[in-house]
Amino acid sequence: MYFNEKICVITGAGSGIGRGLALALGARGATVIVSDIQEVNVTETAAQVNVAGPGKASSEIIDVTDKDAMSVHID
């Protein structure tokens, strides 16, 4: 699997393209860190990745438009 031992970070992963990308990368063995402003949605995305496997996922609730919130996670 091409994405084994790779870590992928996806913003906007609570639905749509972001969720689809997270599921596709997880299916290919990636460790996926998913983020979104909607806690319920992003938690559900991480759970779906973990159930489907073989990759694993964790979730973060982040508003990428908030500079201060982003600097806390980046630094």
* Amino acid letter for position 11: T
Per-residue pLDDT of the chain (75 residues), as tens digits, is: 688 889 999 999 999 999 999 999 999 999 999 999 999 999 999 999 999 999 999 999 988 888 887 775 554
Decide if 13 contacts 37 (C-beta within 8 A). no
Task: Copy the structure tokens of residue 7.
Answer: 């870590």
Tell me which CATH code domain 7-74 carries: 3.40.50.720
pTM check: above 0.95: no
pLDDT of the residue at 72: 58
- Kindly report the backbone phi and psi dihedral angles of residue 40, in degrees, each rounded to the nearest multiple of 5, phi listed first: -60, -45
Rg from Cα positions in the chain? 12
What is the residue extent of each domain of the chain? 7-74
